[in-house]
Amino acid sequence: GQQLNQSPQSMFIQEGEDVSMNCTSSSIFNTWLWYKQDPGEGPVLLIALYKAGELTSNGRLTAQFGITRKDSFLNISASIPSDVGIYFCAGYHGSSNTGKLIFGQGTTLQVKP
C-alpha cells in the first residue's frame, strides 16, 4: 500500500538535545498529522496541520505543513527520557470527515539520560 517516506528510521540522542524528523510524499495531502506510539499502546495524536506553510507548536514539539503540501517535519526541543517512542507522520486525503490516513514508516527515538 501507499506509504510516506519518513526519516530518519531511528535516532539515539542525549537528553537535552533537539530532534528533527520529516516526511515526504509524492501525493498532496489536505492534512498532516504527527503521532507518538508507546510500547503496547496505540498511536496518540501530537499535532495536526491543516494548511500549507502552517507552523504549529505543542509544548516542546513544533511541526510544519510543507508549502508544496507534500512534506512535513516535526521538531522536538530539549528532549527528555519520556520522549522515547515511535513517531509517525500521517497524511490525509479526502473531505473533512471521510477519507484515509496514510502513515509513514515511523521514527524510533531513544533518549540517553
Partner 1 sequence: KAGVTQTPRYLIKTRGQQVTLSCSPISGHRSVSWYQQTPGQGLQFLFEYFSETQRNKGNFPGRFSGRQFSNSRSEMNVSTLELGDSALYLCASSRGGAPDTQYFGPGTRLTVL
Q: Out of 61, 74, 102, 109, point to the residue binding partner 1 (CB under 8 A).
A: 102
Residue 58 CB, nearest approach to partner 1 (Å): 13
Measured CA to CA, the distance from residue 82 to residue 90 in angstroms comes to: 22
Which residue among 16, 18, 27, 44 contacts partner 1 (CB under 8 A)?
44
45 in contact with partner 1 (CB under 8 A)? yes
Tell me whether residue 56 or residue 77 sits nearer to partner 1 (CB atom). Answer: 56
Q: Which is nearer to partner 1, 81 or 94 (CB)?
A: 94
33 counts as binding partner 1 under rule CB under 8 A: yes
Residue from 63, 69, 85, 104 in contact with partner 1 (CB under 8 A): 104
Pick 43 or 85: Cβ nearer partner 1: 43
Identify the bridge partners of residue 44 per DSSP, sorted by sequence position.
36
Residue 96 as a binder of partner 1 (CB under 8 A): the answer is yes
Distance CA 12, CA 102 (A): 26
Strand order in the sheet with 71-76: 5-7, 19-24, 71-76, 61-65, 55-58
Residue 34 CA to residue 76 CA, distance in Å, equals 12
Tell me the residue ranges of DSSP E strands in 38-81. 44-49, 55-58, 61-65, 71-76
